[in-house]
A and B are shown apart, each in its own frame.
Chain A
Amino acid sequence: MAIAAATACSVSAPRNGVLVADEAGVAGANGLTGVTPDGQPVPDGVAVAGAEPAGAAVGPAAGGGSTVTGASGAVGGAESSGSGTDGGTSGSGSAAGPSGGGGGAGTAGGDGGSKAAGPNAVGVTASSITISVSAGYSGIYGALFTDWVDNGFGTWVADVNARGGVNGRKIAYKKVDNADSAEGGVAACKTILSNGTFFPVTFAGLNGADANLVSCVDKAGMPSMTGALTQFNTSWKHAYSFATNANSALQLSGLIKNVARSDSQNVGLLYVDDPYFSAAADVFVKDAPKKGVRIVNTQKVSSNQASFVSEMTRMRDAGAKTVVIIAGGEAIGAIRDAKSISYSPQFIGLLWQADEVAKAAGGLFQGVFALRQWATTDTPQYRKFVALARKHGKDPTSSGGMVGYGVGLTLERALAGMGSGGSWADFERGIQTVTNYNNGYSWPVSWGAGVRQARFGQFPLKCCNGDNTWASAGPAAFDF
């Protein structure tokens, strides 16, 4: 299957751009090799356990530098037996089965893969699961995402392994950089399809990196779990989203009316004219009337605009008493310039709710309400997270690490739901067992049978705590 996947995406198994960390957040010695829960190296691209290619796929998925020969038409997989030799030089399998599984059998580093047989996909053994974790590590927000993954997701990995793993399988992960670019997303996909991992979790990818990655692995039949897509493409067959930026606007009306208790009949909307933000703005514009919220003025701005006085003047003149800002760092300039013309509506924020932005704004955001996908620093969850992270030798630099940790907890549910199975289909069934799950750290999510785009909730925020981080305005909920 992995080989078929590779074919679907014209994979030539590139190895560049791959960053790998072990469960303790320490990069592998050669920068390309991950570490199993047992501390054994995970060779890049090694197929683990049996495989189920239709026809006879030979060799591991680009494992160990061996020549990969994959039979076309492997989709559909095989309930197979597979065999391979150490180093993944060859493998074979037969018989059809559910989707999932590797393109050939090989060996896992230190795992005795050559003797393994069964329906497991690449990256899965009876005792381990290896997954790819993708984000724009080298992009502009690379430091932030690295923190989320190393200290957040890494904390979950360390903790779940300390608890014995999921269904007895310990977790290892490999970081795959999508470089926050469309081509970076495709490159990351190619890496994922050939690095011996079971499936990818993507945290973020600007400029279409995440969507391209998901599209590519989806064509290969590999399931994916995606955290912050701009928008979900309903033509995808195996992609599962935690949340999308677009649909995060669905809770804005509830926030305005029931949490901020602000004027919902004179609402202004200011957003950055970029697909990342405009997708959410479009959703809000369509959703607001259904929920009794009236938008009286809309202003589009450019990213990195020098002044927002014009837009804020128009907003004020239109009588907007509540102003929703869907933007990034531009929110700082917009609120600053509103104040400079003595315009003080109730500001509501979406997509700029990281503590880092609030801190960078100084006290400018005082009184602003917002939504975000992870808990605030004034909650018991944050204290628990920090304590757990430190116990496992991590050093979270921001509350955003809870995204990674919460995603891990959610993933744990999904992996638990797949039982002892190890195919992609088993995993997809596992995801669909996760319903109305709220761990208090990250998005409440609910999939269910046949649902791939999770219904999700968010945390209501009000600025700010004494250190200018966002304060909690209530528990996370699916709606307000």
Chain B
Amino acid sequence: VSAVVLSGLFVGLIYGLLAIGLVLTYRVSKVINFAYGETGMLAAFVYLQMRTGVTTEGFSVGTDRGVLLPLLAALVVGAVIGVLLEITVVRPSRKSSALNGMVGTVAWSLLLIAIANSIYGPNVHQGKPLWDSPGIQVLGLQLSSSQLLTAACTVVIVTVLFLVYRFTSVGLRLRATAVDPYAASLSAINVNLTSTVTWGLAGALSALSAILISGIQGSFDLFFMTVLALRAFIAALAGGLTSLWGGFAAGVVLGLGEAVIQFKTPVTGITELVVATGILALMVVRRGGVVRAQY
């Protein structure tokens, strides 16, 4: 059981990591980014291509060209997509409706899948971990180096974001924009710039998440982030969509819960059923999420 719980914890960390990115952008724009997973997916392909070289068929993995440059390029790609999303979808929706923005992000997700499909093809590709070592045995579960790295990155990212938001002037501007963009702009805060930077940051975070996850899974395709992002949406929703810690914690709980349900109730689909029921119940009982944002 301990191995199952530990495994669930690591899956939960992934959900939590993705939920953070969703919360980041929602806070600043009130737009749910449905292209979040696909942003990371495309960046992960860029990372793989720069690191090993892939063909459209996707299976010819070449010589390893090192981590740094491919990682940097992928982060830049993720950030650029995030910025483009903000400029083309979020900013216009600020003058109309957040719903327009959300529909716009759905369109972007389809566009990103189409782009990735045309460049890299639809087949399964071998993931290339950022850090490849045998890993360690903990409570009967062999933890891979990718899992450990993901856990470490998640803790660092959550902590840094918390500190930035809480104790820096940048964080103050971000929080002010999240609470009331109009009032923030009256206080000489460049709301557009703040929003753009946040979306860019979230794009880079999605890229990093996708690269880490592709390393854990060992393989990935066009839709590998889509399924995970759905779980992240649930976690973010449980976190009220505005609390970084809330979203993260909900992701971890979701991963743990799934693992335990899956182990204790060997009925196919029961996990999805329980999760869906839980979300529906949450929507009815506590529409603002379990955790309220503290700006």
Interface residues of A (CB under 8 A from B): 139-144, 147, 273, 299-302, 304, 306-307, 309-311, 313-314, 329, 332-333, 336-337, 339-342, 355-357, 359-362, 364, 397-398
Contacts and interface: CB of A to CB of B under 8 A. Distances in A.
B140 A341 contact: yes
Contacts of B217: 332-333, 336
Nearest to A328: B124
Given A302-B268, A333-B218, 19 more contacts: A143-B56, A144-B57, A144-B123, A299-B266, A302-B272, A304-B224, A307-B8, A307-B258, A309-B4, A313-B4, A329-B219, A332-B218, A339-B142, A340-B7, A342-B142, A355-B59, A359-B59, A359-B126, A360-B59
Contacts of A359: 59, 61, 126
B227 A341 contact: no
Given A359-B126, A360-B219, A362-B218, A313 B3 contact: yes
B5 to A, nearest CB: 9
15 contacts: A139-B122, A147-B57, A301-B268, A302-B268, A307-B262, A310-B7, A310-B259, A314-B266, A332-B124, A332-B217, A332-B219, A341-B3, A361-B218, A361-B219, A397-B57
Most chain-A CB neighbours within 10 Å: which of B144, B218, B255?
Answer: B218
A307 B7 contact: yes
Contacts of A341: 3, 140-142
Interface in B255-295: 255, 258-259, 262-263, 266, 268-269, 271-272
Contacts of A313: 3-4, 263
A359 B141 CA distance: 25
Given A143-B122, A340-B142, A361-B218, A398 B57 contact: yes
Contact of B58 (A304, A339, A356): A356
Contacts, number: 115
A341 B7 CA distance: 10
Interface in B121-154: 121-126, 137, 140-144
Interface of B: 3-4, 7-8, 11, 14, 55-59, 61, 121-126, 137, 140-144, 217-219, 221-224, 227-228, 231, 255, 258-259, 262-263, 266, 268-269, 271-272
Closest 5 CB pairs of A and B: A310-B263, A309-B7, A300-B268, A360-B219, A310-B262
B126 A361 contact: yes
A18 B258 CA distance: 44
Given A329-B221, A361-B218, A307 B125 contact: no
A143 B142 contact: no
Nearest to B269: A302
A273 B219 contact: no
Given A307-B259, A340-B142, A356 B4 contact: no
Contacts of A332: 124, 217-219
Contacts of B262: 307, 310-311
A310 B219 contact: no
B7 to A, nearest CB: 4
B124 A357 contact: yes
Contact of B218 (A309, A342, A356, A364): A364
B141 A141 contact: no
Contacts of A304: 223-224, 227
Contacts of A147: 57
Contacts of B227: 304, 306
A362 B59 CA distance: 10
A418 B55 CA distance: 42
Contacts of A339: 142
B293 to A, nearest CB: 27
Contacts of A302: 268-269, 271-272
